[in-house]
Chains A and B, each alone.
Chain A
Amino acid sequence: MDVVTLSRLQFFLTISFHFIFVSISIGLSWWLVVFELSGWKKKDGEVYVQIAKFFSKIFAITFITGTATGIVMEFQIGMNWAGYSKFSGDVFGPLLAAEGLIAFFMESSFLGLYLFGRNKVSRSIHLLSIFMVSAGSTISAFWILTANSWQQTPAGFVINNGRVELTNFMDVIFNPSTFQRFFHTIDATLITGTFFATGIASYLLKNDRRVDEAKTILRFTIITGLILCVLQVMPIGHEHAKQVALTQPEKFAVLEAVQETQSHAPFVLFGIPSDTPSGLKMSVKIPSLLSIITFGDAEATIKGINDFPSDEVPPRLIPFITFRTMVVLGMYFILITGYGVIQLFRGKLFNGKGFLRLLVWSAPLPIIASQLGWIAAEVGRHPWIIYRVMKTAEGATLTLPAVNVLTTLIMFAILYSFIGGLYVYLIKREINQWT
C-alpha cells in the first residue's frame, strides 16, 4: 500500500474513533444541562441531582477519552497531509484555530469547574459551568463542521502562487453546505446522547434498580428522542440531500445510484451497484420519486454518473451502501421512539421488559448511523480533498516513507482497541455501581 492509502486509512481510524466520544459527549452534555436545571432550587429536585451526578461521571470518562483522541486530530493534518495543509492553511487553519480558541478552551476549562466545583461554587455558577461545557462543545462542532464543509463546497478564496488565499472569511464560514451539515451532525449527536441515556435508563428499569431515576430519565428522553429523530429526516436530512444534489452532483448521483441523466428519476429502495448500463442489479425502484423528494417536481432533472468525467466520480459501492443503511436506521429510530412514546402515554412503557431490552440494544445504533453518514459524505467527496480544487493524492505527505505511516496506523489501531475496550468496561462499571 502506498502512503496516500495508508494516510487515508489512518485518518479514517483516528477521526471515526474520536467522533464516537464527541457525539456521546455533546448529546449527554445537553442532558446534563436539562437535569441540573431541573434539580436547581427545587424542593423535589433530589432525584434530578442524583441523575446529574451519575451522568456527570459517565460524561467525564467520555469527554476525556474524546479529548485524548482529539489531540491527534489537531496535529495529524500537518503530519500526514503536508501537501494539503501547506496549500490550504490560509483558509482551513483559521477554522481550526477558531475552534480551539473560541470553543475548546471554554469547554475544557469549565469541565474542570463542573466536575470538581460542585461544593466549591454556588449552585448558579455550577449550573453555568455545565452550560458553558455544552455550549462550548456545540460551538466547537460548528467550527469543525465549517472546516469540513469548506472541503465539500469551497468558497471565499482564490488560488495564488500555488496556494489558497483567503478573500472573504464570511463566505468561508457560511459556505453552501455549512448550515445543513452542522444541523444534521448536531442533531445526530443529540440523538446519540439521547439513545445512550435511554439505553441506560431502560437497563436499570429492566433490572428494577434506581427505578425513580430511570423513569424520570425515560420520560424525558423517549419523547425528546422521537422529536429529534423526526426532525433529522424532515426538514434537516431533506434539506441536506437537496444541498448535496445542487452543490455536489457527482456525490448525489453515486448516493442515489443515478446512472443516466433523467427527469422523473426513480428512487432506489434496493439495489446492488454493478457495471450494467443501468448501473444496478436486482433493483427495486419507485418511479419519479427521487425527482419529487429532491426538487419537489417530477419533471426535475437529476444528473447521472455518465455525465461526469470518469476520474471525477467517487467510488460507487461504499457511499451507496452506507447512505442507505443510515437511512434505514433513521427510519428504525423513528419507529422505536414513536412506539415508546405511545407506550408511555398508555402507561405501559415502564413494565414492558421486552421493549426495554430492545431500547438497551438500540442504544449504540445512532453511533453506527453517524459513522455510516460520515463515510458516505467523505468517500463521496473523493477523488477530491477539496472539491474540484485539489485531489486527495496531492494532499498527502509524499516525503513520508509508507512504512512510517503503516507503523503509526498499527500503533493507533492497537491503542484505540485498548482504549475502546476500557471505555466500555468503565461505563458498564459505573452503571452497575449506581445502586
Chain B
Amino acid sequence: MDLNTLWYLLIGLVITVYAILDGYDLGVGLLHLSTRDEGERRVNLNSIGPLWDGNEVWLIAGGGTLFAVFPVVYSALLSAFYILFSLLLISLIFRAISIEFRNKSASHGWQRLWDICFGFGSISASLFFGIMLGNILLGLPVNEEQIITGQPVSLFNLYAIFTGLITVTLFTLHGAVYMTLKADEVYLHRIKRYVLIAWFAFIILYPAGVAVTFYKSPIMFHALLSSPLSIPLGIINIGSIIYIPYAIKAGRHGRAFTASSLLIASIMGFIGLSLFPAIVPSSINPLYSLTAYNASAGPYTLKVMQTIFLTVLPFIIGYTVFINMVFKGKAGIHEEGYSDAEKL
C-alpha cells in the first residue's frame, strides 16, 4: 500500500471515529429537546458530560490532519463550504457553551434557554455535516486549477438537504441507543421508544437516499460493486440495521451500541470505496477531481505525518478507553462535574 492510499484510509478512519463518538453526543443533544423533567435532562448531560469534549477533538485533529496530508483538499473544500462551515462552527460553539453554562445558575429560564441551544446546536451541526457530505457525493465544480468555483447557494440543493436529514436521523438513532446504556427506569422505557421511532425513520429514509444517489451518480456504484470489499460491508451494514431493535428488545444495550457504531462505520466504508481515489469528485470533468494523489502533500510530509500519527494513536486509544471505563454504567442525576446542581 502506498502512502497516499494509507492516508486516504487514515483520514477516513478519523472521520468515522468522529462520527461514531461525537455522533452520539449530537444525538443526545437532539433527544434533549424531548425530555420531560429536570432529572432526565441531568441524566442526558451527565452521560456525555465527561466525554463530549474529548470526542470533539477527533474533528479538530481531523481538520489539522487533513490540512497536513491533503492541503489542496483542505484549502479548496473549506473555502468552497465557507457558509456551511461558518454555520457549523456557530452550532458547535453554541453546543459547547450550552453544556458548560447550563448548570451555572439554578434559574429555570436560564436552564431552559441553554437546553434549547444545546438541542438546536446539535441538530444543526448534524444537518450541516450531512449537507456537506451530500455535496461531496454529488461532486463539486472543481476546475483544472484545483479550485472549486460556482455559487454558494447551490450548496443547499435538495439532495444535500436530504442527506442532511438522513444524517440527523442516524445520529438520533445512535444517540438514543447510547442513552439506553445510561438511562434508568421510566426514562429508559421512553428512550427505547425513541430508538424504535428513529430506527423506523432511518429504514425509510436510508434506502430512499441510496436510491436517489444511484439515480444521481450511478458512476459511484460501479466502483463500489466491482470491489470485493462491498460484500462484507453490505452484510455488516444490513446486519447491524436489522440487529439494533432485537438487541434493544432483549436488553443487550451494549451490543446495540456496537451495532449502531458498525452501521455508521459501514456507511463511511461505502462512501470511501465508491469515491476512492477521489476525495472531492469534480462535476465539471472527472479528470479534475481532487484525489489522494493529485491533492496530497509531498512524500516527506506524508512520512512525517505517518510517524506522528501512528506513534500517538496507541496513546490516544489507551487513555480514551481508560476514561470511558471510568465513566461506564448508568449516569446519575448528581455528578461531581456539575456540582452546582446540589443547590437545587
A interface, CB within 8 angstroms of B: 57, 60-61, 64-65, 67-72, 74-75, 77-80, 82-83, 85-86, 88-94, 96-102, 104-106, 108-113, 115-121, 160, 165-167, 169, 397, 399-400, 404, 408, 411, 415, 419, 422, 426, 429-430
Contacts and interface: CB of A to CB of B under 8 A. Distances in A.
B144 interface: no
Contacts of B89: 71-72, 75
Contacts of B57: 100, 104-105, 108-109
B61 to A, nearest CB: 3
Given A86-B72, A113-B326, A119-B336, A105 B54 contact: yes
Q: Which of B53, B81, B83, B335 has its CB near the most chain A CB atoms (within 10 A)?
A: B53
B50 A399 contact: no
Contact of B96 (A68, A86, A96): A68
A122 to B, nearest CB: 11
User: Which residue among A60, A89, A104, A400 has the maximum number of chain B CB atoms within 10 Å of its CB?
Assistant: A89
Q: Which 6 A-B pairs have the closest CB atoms?
A: A89-B71, A78-B78, A93-B68, A100-B61, A112-B50, A109-B54
Interface in B303-318: 304-305, 308-309, 312-313, 315-316
Contacts, number: 225
11 contacts: A64-B99, A67-B56, A85-B67, A90-B297, A93-B71, A100-B63, A112-B49, A112-B323, A166-B300, A400-B82, A404-B83
A115 B60 contact: no
Given A64-B97, A108-B57, A89 B75 contact: yes
Q: A71, A88, A167: which has the most chain B beta carbons within 10 Å? A: A71
Given A97-B67, A109-B323, A113-B326, A90 B301 contact: yes
Interface of B, secondary structure class, is helix
A167 B300 CA distance: 7
B85 interface: yes
Given A78-B67, A89-B68, A101 B86 contact: no
A93 B56 contact: no
Contact of B336 (A102, A118, A422): A118
Nearest to A120: B326
Nearest to A160: B298
Interface centre among B79, B99, B304 (most CB of A within 10 A): B79
B206 to A, nearest CB: 28
Nearest to B63: A74
Contact of A101 (B82, B297, B316): B316
Contacts of A102: 308, 312
Interface stretch (B34-42, B100-108, B175-183, B210-218): B100-108
- The A interface, classified by DSSP as helix, strand, loop or mixed, is helix
Given A78-B78, A101-B316, A104-B60, A89 B72 contact: yes
Contacts of B313: 101
Contacts of A397: 79, 82
Contacts of A75: 63, 78, 85, 89
Contacts of B337: 60, 112, 115-116
B301 A101 contact: no
Interface string B137-152: 0000000001101001
Contacts of B105: 429
A109 B61 contact: no
A93 B326 contact: no
B53 A64 contact: yes
Given A93-B69, A93-B74, A116-B336, A68 B92 contact: yes
Given A93-B297, A112-B323, A100 B71 contact: no
Contact of A70 (B60, B100, B336): B60
Nearest to A404: B82
B220 to A, nearest CB: 25
Given A61-B100, A71-B56, A72-B89, A115 B336 contact: yes
